[in-house]
């Protein structure tokens, strides 16, 4: 082994720092043998070792400090020591022993070598034969510029990227370019765009940039100019979108694909073009335009987007009805949450304005205009060299401090909301009120002053006053006012804005004309929860949840916010005596009593559960009024824990009593009555509630029983609103509990009330048999209703009844028959919940399609002979019990 820098044993004043390879270190420490450890600390371990110097002639004992990769505090100490020792010219931190005292640093040594024409001396020998000398020279000169002693003489990083891209063009062998060798197969993209103005080959650099910006995984196609001419019909005015800052055209490719084309024509716009491309290749969101390709013709650059553009919001905002305006605003808000919190790179858009909101033929918004967008770090705030954006939409701090953060986008969005609510553009304010003095001429200031002075009616678009409730409009205007606060920290995050917008939906006074119905038409999605909610709330989920729960009830239904001390007192500090769980131990529920004597139930969700489920539950429960549905009393947020309070004191969940082999509290009459009550609840939800609802998770664990075994339905976290004029709705994501999900829902994503009937049928069979839906100790029939069907068809109906039920098994057999009807594979054969209630009450007769069941079970063709099979050994008839239960 030899030192690369030669001998090192002179006086300390002549020491030169030395560089060792990792293999030399491993050899010196015998591959970091633990027996050689002589010390350790927060940074890692120190090893004793021996190194060989001067071509193997001299041995030297050394101490080798190794930084632990898991160290945090140690890392700082470690590098501080490296910096200190480098200043002391320590013998183990040098590059070249021949460097004199004045030029010991790598930067000075390299710069001097470049100036003196000794480039070959400093370049890694492994690169000399692979990369062209011209490339290496340009690469070294670029490094030299970056290392200039005066900051103003150094290039910006945007110029550095342009330089690197230019070097790429100089490389003689494209398959072995310097850029590819540095970054292997992944070509990086620049978030700070190159500055073509400083390059004589700006268009050439731009083309290289666009061609490579997508890397391997995102191809940005190069289109020829004839394709553009053909797609736009020679830039016909009929296809031109709108005059303005940048010409945009609608077009159609020969394959029928509709596209939008933006035209860039000068050096400043080239820079913006590169910036836009660098972002779009990394973003995947349904409300962000997608970059399809580009075309360069002479001095013009065209970017092609995969979008059938109808118009921009700027051209239609004042002609759209409230429903479309609100839908667009909500879509834009969600996109900004994605950019700020959940995109691969966190982004500040900086140009949120109607002109950059593109609309397709269905008025779905697509955010464009990433020309001056920038990335942000964890501090959420950066300082810029100059002001960029559109006057009127730029936040005050961008002017006064050159400070840019996500809250700058919030301000711009607030202006967008204000324009939507007032029907006025930023530049049209004088047409609204010519008496406004010069100090208050801006739309934001005018609107804020009007809101503070109670003149809300003056600023609201007259076309909206008669359509939307005053409360909704007021909250909408107040939300804009918060977004436009002069201090960034006082503005809400975009995640909170989305929650506010969703809360406004709940305030609409007339259910049959709610904004929610207007927005989504007849096909209503899961109640009140924004798409991809888990992405929306991001790091502020509890804060957003707090705001949502506080406002979800609107004016008519108050959801109280309780402090944690009240919860602790009510549950006796979460005493085990007050805790009860479902049979699977998943739920964490406590009985409690408030100081006013009201008995309550307190539910603490698992920490792994997403909050969207409880937002959904709250939005349903504030709209449902039924004596056998749990009522939401309030909530509490303490730290990272959420607590929901219900106005009900249950004794246990149904599953806890059914599946405890030692529990015999539920006789056949109780079970039958529980099933009848739950069936009536589902009829109410499906047909008679203010909004028709599919519960989505009917199972014994969600049936809570009081001390008299009266049931209450809970667990509305997966509930979905429905329109009964449709047979079913398609869902994007399946939710529910395996075993209770209907086949058509599980395999075809079709959700309907008949899917709920299936879940109910499974619960009925569990109630009658006392057995779980899955039990792998049942030989050959781990799935409950397969086991029950086979037993039924083989004439062993009484054998499947829960043995703890020793009288009136006829009631249980009737339940089994109804349960089997409900779990029919064909949804059309299943009864409705109204029919189920009729069967339970004896007003409707039920007949099992036995031959078809047998055929499906055995893989045989069905016969025409159907009959029911059960044994009558009861001492009390079903009719007598039903008469007692519901006297006619």
Give the Cα separation of 513 and 506 in Å (integer). Answer: 12
Instruction: Say if residue 625's pLDDT is above 50.
Output: yes
Q: Averaged over 238-265, what is the pLDDT?
A: 75
Instruction: Say if residue 3's pLDDT is above 80.
Output: no
Q: What is the pLDDT of residues 466-524, one digit of tens each?
A: 667 777 777 887 888 889 888 998 999 988 888 888 777 656 534 333 333 433 333 33
> What's the distance, Cα to Cα, between the start and end of the chain in Å?
103
Residue 754's pLDDT band (cuts 50, 70, 90): very high
Q: Averaged over 110-120, what is the pLDDT?
A: 74
Distance of CA 52 to the CA centre of its chain: 57
Given this model, what pLDDT does residue 869 score?
A: 38
DSSP one-letter code for 288: B
Q: What is the pLDDT of residues 187-215, one digit of tens each?
A: 333 333 334 344 334 677 777 788 777 77
Beta-strand ranges (E) seen in 338-451 are 347-348, 357-359, 365-367, 374-375, 381-383, 403-405
Give the Cα separation of 394 and 707 in Å (integer). Answer: 62
Burial of 135 (0-12, 13-18, 19+ CB in 10 A): buried
Tokens of 686: 């499906």
In this prediction the pTM is 0.44
462 Cβ contact list (under 8 Å, min separation 6): 423
Catalytic pick among 697, 727, 779, 872 = 697
- Calculate what percentage of the chain has a pLDDT beyond 70: 71
- Phi-psi category of residue 706: left, alpha or beta, with phi > 0 → left and psi -120 to 50 → alpha: beta
Q: What is the pLDDT of residues 412-449, one digit of tens each?
A: 999 888 887 777 766 554 333 444 444 434 566 777 77
Q: Mean pLDDT, the chain, as a whole number?
A: 75
Q: Contacts for 852-861 with beta carbons within 8 Å, 24 or more apart?
A: 853/789, 853/792, 853/793, 853/820, 854/793, 856/825, 857/786, 857/789, 857/790, 857/793
Return the H-helix or E-strand segment holding 110.
helix 106-115
Give the Cα separation of 870 and 526 in Å (integer). Answer: 41
Instruction: Say if residue 580's pLDDT is above 50.
Output: yes
Given this model, what pLDDT does residue 570 score?
A: 92
Q: Averaged over 94-111, what is the pLDDT?
A: 52
Q: Residue 457 in 3-state DSSP?
A: helix
Specify the range with the lowest mean pLDDT, choosing from 306-320, 595-609, 612-626, 729-743: 306-320
Tokens of 519: 């927005």
For the sheet with 599-603, list strands across it.
Answer: 560-561, 632-638, 641-646, 599-603, 589-593, 579-580
Return the H-helix or E-strand segment holding 548.
helix 541-551
Binding site annotation covers 65? Answer: yes
Given this model, what pLDDT does residue 388 score?
A: 82
Given this model, what pLDDT does residue 761 score?
A: 97
Q: Averaged over 269-284, what is the pLDDT?
A: 85
Given this model, what pLDDT does residue 769 score?
A: 92
**């969940």: which residue's tokens?**
653
Give the Cα separation of 672 and 767 in Å (integer). Answer: 9
Instruction: Say if residue 841's pLDDT is above 50.
Output: yes
Domains of the chain listed by start with CATH number: 12-102 (3.30.200.20), 155-309 (3.30.200.20), 318-492 (1.10.510.10), 570-608+622-651 (3.30.200.20), 653-885 (1.10.510.10)
Instruction: Say if residue 460's pLDDT is above 60.
Output: yes
Given this model, what pLDDT does residue 516 score?
A: 37
Helices 809-822 and 668-683 cross at an angle (nearest 10°) of: 30
Given this model, what pLDDT does residue 333 score?
A: 92
Q: Averaged over 747-772, what is the pLDDT?
A: 94
Instruction: Say if residue 177's pLDDT is above 50.
Output: no
Give the Cα separation of 9 and 115 in Å (integer). Answer: 32
Q: What is the pLDDT of residues 212-251, one digit of tens each?
A: 777 766 778 889 999 999 988 888 854 444 534 578 888 8
Pairing of strands 291-297, 221-222: parallel
Q: What is the pLDDT of residues 327-379, one digit of tens each?
A: 899 899 989 988 998 888 889 999 999 888 988 878 889 999 898 898 887 66
Instruction: Say if residue 11's pLDDT is above 80.
Output: no
**């804009």: which residue's tokens?**
480
Bridge partners (DSSP) of residue 751 are 729
Q: What angle do CA 494, 497, 498 make, to 5 degrees?
A: 95
Specify the range with the lowest mean pLDDT, choosing from 384-388, 463-467, 824-828: 463-467
With b for 16 or more beta-carbon neighbours within 10 A and e for fewer, the 802-815 pattern comes to: beebeebbbbbbbb
Is-catalytic flag, 697?
yes
Tokens of 182: 């540095």
CB 601 within 8 A of CB 591: yes
Bridge partners (DSSP) of residue 693 are 721
């Amino acid at each position: 082994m030899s030192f690369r820098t030669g001998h090192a044993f002179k006086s300390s004043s002549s020491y030169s720092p030395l560089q060792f390879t990792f293999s030399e270190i491993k050899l010196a420490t015998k591959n970091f043998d633990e027996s050689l450890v002589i010390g350790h600390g927060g940074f890692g371990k120190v090893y004793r070792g021996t190194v060989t110097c001067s071509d193997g002639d001299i041995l030297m004992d050394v101490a080798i400090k190794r930084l632990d990769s898991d160290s945090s505090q140690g890392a700082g100490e470690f590098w501080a020591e490296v910096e200190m020792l480098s200043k002391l010219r320590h013998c183990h931190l040098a590059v070249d022993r021949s460097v004199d005292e004045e030029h010991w640093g790598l930067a000075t040594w390299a710069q001097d070598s470049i100036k003196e024409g000794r480039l070959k001396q400093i370049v890694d020998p492994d690169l000399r034969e692979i990369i062209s000398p011209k490339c290496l020279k340009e690469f070294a000169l670029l490094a030299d510029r970056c290392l200039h002693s005066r900051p103003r003489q150094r290039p910006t990083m945007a110029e550095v990227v342009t330089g690197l891209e230019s070097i790429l063009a100089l490389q003689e062998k494209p398959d072995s370019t310097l850029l590819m060798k540095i970054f292997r197969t992944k070509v990086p993209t620049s978030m700070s765009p190159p500055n073509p103005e400083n390059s004589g080959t700006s268009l050439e650099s731009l083309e290289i940039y666009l061609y490579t910006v997508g890397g391997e995984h995102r191809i940005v196609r190069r289109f020829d100019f004839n394709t553009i001419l053909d797609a736009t019909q020679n830039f016909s005015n009929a296809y031109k979108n709108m005059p303005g800052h940048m010409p945009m055209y609608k077009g159609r490719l020969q394959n029928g694909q509709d596209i939008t084309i933006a035209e860039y024509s000068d050096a400043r716009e080239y820079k913006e073009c590169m910036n836009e491309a660098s972002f779009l290749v990394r973003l995947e969101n349904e409300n962000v335009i997608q970059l399809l390709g580009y075309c360069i013709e002479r001095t013009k650059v065209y970017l092609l987007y995969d979008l059938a553009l109808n118009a921009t919001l700027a051209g239609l905002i004042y002609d759209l009805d409230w429903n479309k305006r609100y839908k667009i605003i909500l879509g834009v808000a969600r996109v900004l949450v994605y950019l700020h919190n959940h995109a691969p790179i966190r982004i500040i858009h900086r140009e949120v304005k109607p002109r950059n909101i593109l609309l397709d033929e269905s008025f779905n918004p697509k955010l464009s205009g990433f020309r001056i967008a920038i990335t942000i770090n964890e501090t959420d705030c950066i300082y810029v060299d100059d002001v960029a954006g559109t006057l009127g939409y730029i936040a005050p701090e961008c002017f006064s401090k050159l400070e840019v953060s996500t809250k700058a986008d919030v301000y711009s969005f607030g202006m967008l909301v204000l324009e939507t609510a007032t029907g006025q553009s930023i530049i049209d304010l004088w047409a609204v009120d010519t008496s406004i003095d010069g100090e208050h001429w801006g739309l934001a200031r005018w609107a804020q002053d009007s809101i503070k002075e109670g003149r809300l009616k003056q600023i609201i678009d007259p076309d909206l006053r008669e359509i939307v409730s005053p409360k909704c409009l007021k909250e909408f205007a107040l939300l804009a006012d918060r977004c436009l606060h002069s201090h960034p920290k006082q503005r809400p995050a975009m995640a909170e804005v989305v929650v506010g917008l969703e809360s406004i939906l709940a305030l609409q006074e007339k259910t049959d004309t709610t904004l929610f119905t207007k927005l989504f038409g007849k096909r209503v999605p899961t109640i009140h929860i924004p798409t991809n909610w888990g992405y929306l709330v991001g790091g502020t989920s509890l804060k957003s949840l707090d705001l949502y729960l506080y406002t979800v009830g609107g004016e008519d239904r108050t959801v109280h916010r309780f402090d944690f001390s009240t919860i602790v007192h009510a549950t006796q500090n979460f005493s085990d005596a007050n805790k009860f769980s479902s049979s699977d131990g998943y739920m964490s529920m406590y009985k409690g009593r408030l100081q006013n004597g009201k008995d309550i139930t307190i539910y603490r969700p698992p920490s792994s559960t997403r909050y969207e489920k409880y937002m959904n539950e709250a939005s349903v429960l504030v709209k449902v009024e039924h004596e056998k549905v749990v009522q939401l009393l309030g909530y509490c947020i303490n730290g990272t824990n959420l607590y929901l309070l219900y106005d009900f004191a249950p004794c246990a969940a149904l599953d806890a009593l059914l599946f405890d082999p030692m529990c015999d509290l539920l006789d056949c009459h109780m079970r039958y009555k529980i099933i009848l009550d739950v069936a009536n609840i589902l009829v109410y939800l499906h047909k008679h509630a203010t909004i028709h609802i599919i519960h989505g998770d009917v199972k014994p664990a969600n049936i809570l029983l009081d001390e008299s075994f009266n049931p209450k339905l809970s667990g509305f976290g997966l509930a979905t609103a429905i329109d009964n004029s449709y047979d079913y709705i398609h869902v994007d994501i399946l939710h529910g509990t395996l075993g209770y999900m209907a086949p058509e829902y599980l395999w075809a994503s079709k959700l309907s009330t008949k899917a709920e009937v299936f879940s109910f049928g499974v619960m009925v069979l569990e109630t009658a048999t006392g057995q779980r839906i899955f039990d792998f100790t049942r030989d050959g029939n781990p799935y409950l209703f397969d086991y029950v069907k086979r037993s039924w068809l083989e004439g062993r109906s009484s054998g499947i009844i829960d043995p703890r039920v020793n009288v009136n098994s006829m009631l249980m057999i009737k339940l089994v028959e109804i349960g089997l009807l409900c779990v029919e594979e064909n949804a059309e054969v299943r009864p409705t919940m109204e029919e189920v209630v009729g069967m339970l009450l004896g007003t409707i007769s039920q007949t099992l399609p036995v031959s078809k069941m047998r055929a499906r079970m055995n893989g045989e063709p069905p016969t025409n002979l159907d009959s029911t099979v059960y044994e009558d050994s009861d001492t009390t008839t079903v009719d007598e019990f039903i008469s007692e239960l519901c006297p006619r």
